[in-house]
Structure 1
Amino acid sequence: MKPLDPRLLKRARGARVFLLASVLIGVLSGVLIIVQAVLLAHGIAGVVLRGSGVTAVAWGLAAVVAGRALLVWAQEVVAQRAAAAVKSTLRRQVLEHSLKLGPVWLSGERSSALTTLLTKGLDDLDPYFARYLPQLILAATVPAGVIGWMATGDLIAAGTVLITLPLIPIFMALIGWVTQARSRQRQHALAVLAHHFADVVSGLTTLKLFGRAKSQESAVRRVTDQHRAASMGSLRLAFLSSFALELLASLSVALVAVGVGLRLVDGKLGLETALMVLILAPEAYLPLRQVGMQFHASADGVAASEEVFRVLETPLPVRGERTDVPDLRVNPLYLYDVTVTYPGRDVPALEGFDLELRPGEVVALTGPSGAGKSTALAVLLGFVAPERGVVVAAGSAADEFDPAEWRRQFAWVPQRPGLRLGTVADNVRLGRPDASDDEVRLALLAAGAADLPLDKAVGEQGQQLSGGQQRRVALARALLTDAPVLLLDEPTAGLDPETEARVITALRSTGRTVLMVAHRPTLIAAADRTITVEPAAPRELVNA
């Protein structure tokens, strides 16, 4: 675990400004610490040896204490603002990068884990910026100044501090290796808890219907206990490491004090110099001790930032720049020898797939579940980059074009349509915000959803609508767009025969190119052509 990840400086401008301000504050703090020690030693020695007054010294100390308090306040303000700026920047970058990676990358457990990372995970950066980094800056500036000033009065004491001081960061590094693993375990446990809880809540209705809601209590409790155990393990390690660092620093200061006392008794050292050295010695170790203490408070934030950078460093699909996308109303679309294998899987999701899609025709993709039909649609949309093969239109590969311009040629209805908070009309207009109410009604009629009022409220993830209604709203949204190609993944699933017939009539009457994943015989019979997608064979069998 690096004390300061250079990727933070690269990706977050707020971190760079904060670092410069912290260096300045650290230098000023070191100067004030030395001035305070000199004033205290001079005042005490003056009273003991000369019986002089302490008024001037007291005013000087008051000014130094006020200055140190002001610097502490400035450091806190700068740190909080930097943390807010960095979190905002990283959240925006992760969201933008995730959108570019596409819905296939976000599928599965990633969506809930990403939600946890962008909320609770990045909030853990507050201790990192507010406590750990300021102490790290002080640890890099204050000890050097203190040792240098001590050397002007007592070279032996300065040498003792210089020799014993590196022991603290060495122990911190050893502890850090263990802490890093524990923090990652805790972050993983939190992601598992978030995903499991979200999964249970989303399926609560089904669990209640089948009388399985109670059985999930033990599962939630087990996952929660795993997170609790990981958190307590991190705390236990923090307490033990803090004790070790405190003990090491205390023994080092005691070693300096013993040497100073012996030289003072022998007359080799004056009282004022001895007092100054004794006051400064703990100040040399204090920043490193504080770094060790705050290191564990910031470990979760560092682990979260590593997850953020893992997302940001995920390679994007090849992005072209051409904007002269061919009009698919008049140009056929081809897939040549397309093969896709998802990360972590040995069997290709789609292998050696060829397709010709002529303008205006309706084509049905059939085949067993898992054969790669939905993957073929994802390849056409540019959500998945094939490891072999190419998508071609008008003699040009699809990856030569700007992805946003390329996707304007398609309207897509996935198996689980995404509906946003608003009304039915808001969701249908998503593809054409300028559409009139009459156009929205016609689209709903064509999709078999004429019974849905335009102002009917729609909740998050389509709440307030049944599964069939959600699919019909999504289909109406696709029909309302001007896209020349409709990509439909089981568009009539959950619809009754009468509504299905109406939807099929609407699809054929659009005059647009339609590529649909189909299982129902009525839908397959309505297609101009049917293409069967065969599952890929395991590669070890192919190579045998």
Structure 2
Amino acid sequence: MKPVDPRLLRQAKAARLFMAGSVAIGVATGLLVILQAVLLARGISGVVLHGSGVAEVAWWLAAVVAGRAVLMWLQEVVAQRAAAAVKSTLRRRVLEHSLKLGPSWLSGERSSQLTTLLTKGLDDLDPYFARYLPQLVLAATVPAGVVGWMATGDLIAAATVVVTLPLIPLFMALVGWATQAYSRRRQRALDVLAHHFSDVVSGLATLKLFGRAKGQAESVRRVTEEHRVASMASLRLAFLSSFVLELLASISVALVAVGVGLRLVDGKLGLETALLVLILAPEAYLPLRQVGAQFHASADGVAAGEEVFRVLETPLPLTGDRTDVPDLRSTGLHLHDVTVRYPDREQAALQGFDLDLWPGEVVALTGPSGAGKSTVLAAILGFVVPSAGVVVAGGSAMDEFDMGVWRQQFGWVPQRPGLRVGSIADNVRLGRPDATDAEVRQALDTAGAASLELDTQVGEQGQLLSGGQRRRVALARALVTDAPVLLLDEPTAGLDPAAEAAVVAGLRATGRTILLVAHRPALMDAADRVVSVSRELVTA
């Protein structure tokens, strides 16, 4: 686990500014620490030896203490602002990168894991910026200044500090290796808990229907216990490591104090110098001890940061930059020997698939579940990159075009369409934000949703609608676009025969090119051609 991850400095400008400000504050703090020790030693020795000079020293000492308080406040303000800016930047970049990676990549990621990372995970960066990094800067600046100043008065004491000081970073490194493993284990336990709890909540209605809801309590309790054990193990290690570092620092300061005391008794060291060394010695060890303590507080944030960079460093599919995409109203779309393989599967999801889709044609893809029908749609949309073969339009390969411009040619209804909180009209307008109420109404009518009102609220993920209503709203969202080609994955699933017939009639009436995944006879009968998809053999 790196003390300062250079990827964090590259990804967030606020982190670079924060580090520069922390260095300046750290240098100023180091100077004030030395000045405070000098004033204390001078004041105490003045009282003991001369019985005077306290008032002037007291005023200067008060000013130094006030200065250190101001620097601490300034460090806290800078750290909190930097943490907020960095978290905002990382959240935005992870979301943008996830969207660019596409639905196929997102389907491979646990949605609850990504949600936990972007919420609780990144919030753990607060201790990293507010506590750990400032203390790391102090550890790099204060001990050097303190030892240098001590050397001007007592070389032996300074040498003692120089010899014993590296023991603290050494033990910190040993503890850090163990902490890294514990933090990752705790992060994994949190991911499992979030994923399991999300699955239980999302399927609670089904579990309740079959009388299995109470049976999940023990499973949730078991996962929660695993997270508790992992968290307590991290806390136990943090307390034990703090004890080790405190013990090392105490023994080191004691060695310095014994040497100073012996030389003071022998008359080889003045009182003011001895006091200065004794006051400065703990200050040399304190920043390193605090780094060890804050390291544990920030470990969860560092682990979350590593997960963020794992997402950000996932390579994006290579695409072209051409914007002159052929108009699919007047030209065909062709798939030649397309093979798609997913990284986590040995068998190809789609093997040697060929398809010619002509303007105004309705083509149905059929085949057993898992044969690759949805993968055909994903390959056309550029959500997956074929390992072999090519998608061609107007004599040019799809990968020559900018994907944003290419996808404007298609209206898409996935197998599990998603809806956002808002009205039905709001969800339909996701396809075309400038659509009028009349155009939204027409799209809904064509999708067989004439009974739905535009201002009807859909709820979270469309929970206030039935499954068939959600699918029809998603179909209307595709229809309201100007896209010449519609890619529909089981568009009539969950509909009764009468509603299905209305949808089929509406789709035929649009005159658009339609490629649909079909299992139901009504859709196959409505198609101009039926194309069979199978892993062993692909036929048209």
TM-score for the superposition, normalised by structure 1: 0.97
By how many angstroms is 1:190 displaced?
Answer: 1.1
CA contact (8 A) 1:486 1:513 kept: yes
* Equivalence for 1:522: 522
Q: Look up the equivalent residue of 2:485 and give its one-letter code.
A: V
* Equivalence for 2:414: 414
By how many angstroms is 1:53 displaced?
Answer: 3.0
CA contact (8 A) 1:249 1:285 kept: yes
* Equivalence for 2:71: 71
Q: In structure 2, what is the Cα distance between the partners aligned to 1:435 and 1:21? A: 50
* Equivalence for 2:315: 315
* Equivalence for 1:243: 243
* Equivalence for 1:491: 491
1:115-514 map, 5 Å: 115-514=115-514
CA contact (8 A) 1:350 1:536 kept: no
By how many angstroms is 1:50 displaced?
Answer: 2.2
* Equivalence for 2:101: 101
By how many angstroms is 1:389 displaced?
Answer: 1.8
Q: In structure 2, what is the Cα distance between the partners aligned to 1:269 and 1:336? A: 90
Q: In structure 2, what is the Cα distance between the partners aligned to 1:109 and 1:95? A: 13
Q: Look up the equivalent residue of 2:36 and give its one-letter code.
A: Q
Q: In structure 1, what is the Cα distance between the partners aligned to 2:229 and 2:342? A: 33
Q: In structure 2, what is the Cα distance between the partners aligned to 1:102 and 1:452? A: 31
* Equivalence for 2:30: 30
Q: Which moved more, 1:82-91 or 1:319-328?
A: 319-328
Q: Which moved more, 1:393-402 or 1:127-136?
A: 393-402
Is 1:58 the equivalent of 2:58?
yes
CA contact (8 A) 1:349 1:536 kept: no
| Residues 248-293 of structure 1, C-alpha deviations (whole Å, 9 max, x = no match) | 1111111111111111122221111111001000000000000000
CA contact (8 A) 1:320 1:401 kept: yes
CA contact (8 A) 1:425 1:454 kept: yes
By how many angstroms is 1:319 displaced?
Answer: 2.4
CA contact (8 A) 1:112 1:194 kept: yes
Q: Look up the equivalent residue of 1:360 and give its one-letter code.
A: G
Q: In structure 1, what is the Cα distance between the partners aligned to 2:375 and 2:223? A: 32
By how many angstroms is 1:536 displaced?
Answer: 5.4
Which secondary structure does the structure 2 equivalent of 1:212 belong to?
Answer: coil
Q: In structure 2, what is the Cα distance between the partners aligned to 1:276 and 1:45? A: 10
CA contact (8 A) 1:366 1:532 kept: yes
Which secondary structure does the structure 1 equivalent of 2:514 belong to?
Answer: strand
By how many angstroms is 1:108 displaced?
Answer: 4.9
CA contact (8 A) 2:379 2:386 kept: yes
CA contact (8 A) 2:448 2:506 kept: no
CA contact (8 A) 1:333 1:356 kept: yes
Q: In structure 2, what is the Cα distance between the partners aligned to 1:60 and 1:426? A: 66
Q: In structure 2, what is the Cα distance between the partners aligned to 1:392 and 1:129? A: 50
By how many angstroms is 1:350 displaced?
Answer: 1.3
Q: In structure 2, what is the Cα distance between the partners aligned to 1:245 and 1:362? A: 73
Q: CA RMSD in A?
A: 1.2
By how many angstroms is 1:109 displaced?
Answer: 4.5
| Distance change (3 Å), C-alpha of 1:215 and 1:109 | farther
CA contact (8 A) 1:362 1:513 kept: yes
Which secondary structure does the structure 1 equivalent of 2:449 belong to?
Answer: coil
Q: In structure 2, what is the Cα distance between the partners aligned to 1:387 and 1:229? A: 44
Q: In structure 2, what is the Cα distance between the partners aligned to 1:396 and 1:110? A: 36
Which secondary structure does the structure 1 equivalent of 2:231 belong to?
Answer: helix
Q: Look up the equivalent residue of 2:181 and give its one-letter code.
A: A
Which secondary structure does the structure 1 equivalent of 2:181 belong to?
Answer: helix
| Residues 284-319 of structure 1, C-alpha deviations (whole Å, 9 max, x = no match) | 000000000000000000000110111111101112
CA contact (8 A) 1:428 1:477 kept: yes
Task: Point out 4+ residue stretches in structure 1 off by more than 3 angstroms.
Answer: none
CA contact (8 A) 2:362 2:513 kept: yes
Q: Look up the equivalent residue of 1:292 and give its one-letter code.
A: G
| Distance change (3 Å), C-alpha of 1:77 and 1:490 | same
* Equivalence for 1:41: 41
Q: In structure 2, what is the Cα distance between the partners aligned to 1:156 and 1:520? A: 90
CA contact (8 A) 1:109 1:195 kept: no
Q: In structure 1, what is the Cα distance between the partners aligned to 2:232 and 2:390? A: 51
CA contact (8 A) 1:348 1:536 kept: no
CA contact (8 A) 1:147 1:162 kept: yes
Q: In structure 2, what is the Cα distance between the partners aligned to 1:396 and 1:104? A: 24
Q: In structure 2, what is the Cα distance between the partners aligned to 1:229 and 1:62? A: 47
Aligned residues: 537
Q: Look up the equivalent residue of 2:337 and give its one-letter code.
A: D
Q: Look up the equivalent residue of 2:282 and give its one-letter code.
A: P
Q: In structure 1, what is the Cα distance between the partners aligned to 2:500 and 2:97? A: 38
* Equivalence for 1:542: none
Q: In structure 2, what is the Cα distance between the partners aligned to 1:449 and 1:351? A: 37
| Residues 236-258 of structure 1, C-alpha deviations (whole Å, 9 max, x = no match) | 11011111111111111111111
Q: In structure 1, what is the Cα distance between the partners aligned to 2:531 and 2:182? A: 51
Q: Which moved more, 1:137-146 or 1:383-392?
A: 383-392
* Equivalence for 1:540: none
Q: In structure 2, what is the Cα distance between the partners aligned to 1:85 and 1:440? A: 39
CA contact (8 A) 1:117 1:308 kept: yes
Q: Which moved more, 1:74-83 or 1:418-427?
A: 418-427
CA contact (8 A) 2:317 2:385 kept: yes
CA contact (8 A) 2:366 2:532 kept: yes
Q: In structure 2, what is the Cα distance between the partners aligned to 1:326 and 1:447? A: 27
Q: In structure 1, what is the Cα distance between the partners aligned to 2:435 and 2:468? A: 23
| Residues 152-195 of structure 1, C-alpha deviations (whole Å, 9 max, x = no match) | 00111111111111111111111111111111111111111111
Q: In structure 2, what is the Cα distance between the partners aligned to 1:51 and 1:525? A: 108
Which secondary structure does the structure 2 equivalent of 1:323 belong to?
Answer: coil
CA contact (8 A) 1:338 1:352 kept: yes
Which secondary structure does the structure 1 equivalent of 2:450 belong to?
Answer: coil
TM-score for the superposition, normalised by structure 2: 0.98
Consecutive unaligned residues of structure 2, counting only runs of 5 or more, are: none
Q: In structure 2, what is the Cα distance between the partners aligned to 1:110 and 1:405? A: 29
